[in-house]
Amino acid sequence: MSEDRTIPMKKQPSQEDEGDQKTILSGQDKPMPPAPPYQPQESWQPPRDAGFVRSGPAEAVTPPSFPAAQRPFAPPAAQDQTMIIAERPKPVFAWLVVVDGPDRNTIGTVHSLHPDTTTIGRVKGNQIVLSDETVSSQHARIRREGKEDQEAVFVLFDMGSANGIFAGKRETYKNDESRVYRHELKDGDYLLMGQTTLVFKRL
């Protein structure tokens, strides 16, 4: 079977096609009419019955004035004033000084009292440890107590010691009647705990 090698024929333009082409070309040969001169149009105006009302420029609104002390978020006014320092509590300095006892190496030792409470005993864990076998493990406690409109005082308490606490003046502190269970310490008081003598001093 032979292949189809037929070449398609080109269509020859007919007279009608040539006429149509000429008609189109002849229409394009006509000159374009000149454009009318530009005339600016008036701005658009809404109809009168549209319900729009033309408003004028907004008037500037003045904010209300506040006094300097009432202005919200206003920085404090600069004033040439001296700041008054609040009165601070007067510090208290107090000590117990060892003046006699079985351990001669501790004589002259100065023990500072704590601002609140100071514990005294034979064993470690107390703020003041005395090397004296006749002193109880927790022998005494000294607490600072404040009084209204008066100077704070240091008060000595017996913690249930076996040999007790004696306090008073140098001449009488060893007497039986000088044994105390609660005693407000005064500068220069002598204290006897077991066989150890201490002196209370304060500024």
Residue 166 CB neighbour total at 10 angstroms: 20
The confidence score (pLDDT) of residue 17 equals 52
Q: Give the phi and the psi of residue 174 in degrees, each rounded to 5.
A: -90, -5
Residue 135 CB neighbour total at 10 angstroms: 25
- Percent of the chain past pLDDT 90, that is, above it, reads 50
Q: How far apart are CA 56 and CA 66, in angstroms?
A: 30
Tens digit of each residue's pLDDT (9 = 90 or more) over 29-64 = 556 666 666 666 666 666 665 555 566 666 666 766
Predicted confidence (pLDDT) at residue 164 exceeds the cutoff of 80: yes
Q: Identify which has the larger pLDDT, 67 or 15.
A: 67
Question: Do the beta carbons of residue 131 and residue 102 sit within 8 Å?
Answer: yes
Q: Which of 2-6, 82-86, 126-130, 150-154 is predicted with the least confidence, judged by mean pLDDT?
A: 2-6
The confidence score (pLDDT) of residue 89 equals 61
Element (H, E) at 97: strand 94-100
For 22, which DSSP code? H
Mean pLDDT, rounded, of the chain: 79
Tens digit of each residue's pLDDT (9 = 90 or more) over 138-148 = 999 999 998 77
Predicted confidence (pLDDT) at residue 72 exceeds the cutoff of 70: no
Predicted confidence (pLDDT) at residue 108 exceeds the cutoff of 50: yes
Task: Provide the whole-model pTM.
Answer: 0.56
Over the range 4-43, which residues count as b (16 or more CB within 10 Å of their CB) and which as e?
eeeeeeeeeeeeeeeeeeeeeeeeeeeeeeeeeeeeeeee
Question: Do the beta carbons of residue 102 and residue 195 sit within 8 Å?
Answer: yes
Count of positions (residues) in the chain: 203
**What does the pLDDT average to over 16-26?**
49
The confidence score (pLDDT) of residue 82 equals 80
Predicted confidence (pLDDT) at residue 20 exceeds the cutoff of 80: no
